[in-house]
Structure 1
C-alpha cells in the first residue's frame, strides 16, 4: 500500500471510457452520412416485398432509368448525364473487365415500360454483368 493508506492504480492500466465515447460519436456520424453517399437520379421506385440481396463488399454499379426512359450511370464525373443504351453497355463492359464481381443494380422508375427495363437488363448481361438486380422500395 502507498503512503496514506490509499491503494494506487498501476500506470499500465488505460482508461477506455473516453475511447468508447469517441467511437459512439463516430458511429452516429457514419449513420447520418451513409444515406447521403447513395447518389443518383431521382426515380419513383416501384414497391415490392422481396428479400434483400446479400451484402456485397464493393460499391454497386447503378443504372437508373427515369420516367422518360432516359438512362444514367453512377460512374464518372457527371452522374446526371443522359446516356444511350450502347454507351451504358460499353461503360459497364469496361468496368466488368476490371472487376468481374462488381454488383450491377437497376433503378427503374415505375412509369417505365417493362420491355424497356428488360432490354436494359439484357444489354447489361451482354456487357458481362453476371447478375443484375432490381431496386424496389418496401411497401409500407
Structure 2
C-alpha cells in the first residue's frame, strides 16, 4: 500500500511561464491599439452653430515690431501714430483683440512701449506671438 512519490511530485509542479508570456503579449497589443481606438472614438464634428460662431469671430489685429519699424496689419506706422491707428481698428472689430509679434533683436523697451500704446488704444485682449509663427526668426 505504499505509493510511488516520484509520479506525484511531477504532477504538482505547474509551469506558469506560458501564461505570463500570453498575458504580456496581450498587454503589448492593447498598448499599441488603444491610442488608435481612442483617436477614432474621439472624432467630434462641430455643429452648424459652432461653425457659424467660429466664422463670425474676427481675427486679431496684427502688430509686428521689426528693425525697420512698427507695422499694423502689414502697413508701417510711426510710433506716435500707433495708438490712434489701433484705436480706429479696435472700434471697427468686434473682439478688440491685438496680436503682437516682435522680431529677434528688437529691444525689450521698444516692445513694452508698443504694449503700453496698445493698452492705451483700448485693446480688450493682447496676445504675444512666437516670431516663428509670423515668419520672423529661424524655424
Q: Taking structure 2 as the reference length, what is the TM-score of the superposition? A: 0.50
Ranked by relative contact order (alpha carbons within 8 Å, sequence separation 6 or more), the top structure is 1
Which has the larger share of helix? Answer: 2
Larger gyration radius, structure 1 or structure 2: 2
